[in-house]
Amino acid sequence: MMNRNWNPVTHKYGKMRPFDRTIPPSIRNTFSELATRAIQEAQFLTKKKYRECNEKEVLPSMTPDICIVNFYTDNGKLGLHQDRDESKESLRKGLPVVSFSVGNSAYFLYGAERNAKKAKSVALDSGDVLIFGGKSRHVFHGVPAIFPNSAPKQLMKDSCLSPGRLNLTFRQF
Ligand code: MD6
Ligand code: FE
């Protein structure tokens, strides 16, 4: 399996990172296991709540081979967008995006249209995992604001995380 780099300028996946021509490292097992476990838990909770449903149709399983890491400073934002740069097959199957938040909390907007006024919002705190897959795979989403100084104090003491928000999204190309 080839490792891929996501280019935020062209919105395309390529073999290497253009500015230094390095090939991205493989995802550590401990990390991909966190993502697959999160999906399993979500499938389990979905089945518990909607007994009649096929939980793997609502939220398909996936094997992550992409991890995009974003760091938001306290004035960082991300406009409403869809994640649709992965393979046609991955998008057609609705293979989920699994997003981990670490550090400062953020507002997360999501909705059926690229319209912030019509979007719903949820706060994402450090340690939260957000999954969108199945019929929601093409949801518009964005991060309009970060809450400064909201990270767990112990995290800031124990890690060398700069003030801000770290976001890791796992997906299958
Ligand atoms: C977030 N991240 O930071 C949401 N999308 O909670 C994204 O929506 C995202 O981090 C495409 C590529 C990278 C990302
Ligand atoms: Fe996104």
What whole-number distance in Å separates Cα of residue 44 and Cα of residue 59? 10
Can you tell me the mean pLDDT for 120-149?
98
Q: Does the pLDDT of residue 1 top 90, yes or no? A: no
Strand order in the sheet with 165-171: 66-72, 165-171, 97-103, 129-132
pTM above 0.85, yes or no: yes
Number of domains the chain is built from: 1
Is 158 annotated as belonging to a binding site? Answer: no
Q: Does the pLDDT of residue 162 top 90, yes or no? A: yes
Q: Compute the distance from residue 50 Cα to the ligand 2 centre, in Å.
A: 27
Can you tell me the mean pLDDT for 68-75?
97
What proportion of the chain, given as a percentage, has pLDDT over 70?
100
Is 11 annotated as belonging to a binding site? Answer: no
Q: Kindly identify the ligand whose nearest atom is closest to the C-alpha of 143.
A: 1
Domain range enclosing 39: 5-171
- Kindly give the number of the ligand 1 atom that is closest to the alpha carbon of 68: 13
Residue 58 maps to which CATH number? 2.60.120.590
What whole-number distance in Å separates Cα of residue 64 and Cα of residue 61? 10
Kindly state the DSSP code that residue 19 receives in the 8-state scheme.
Answer: T
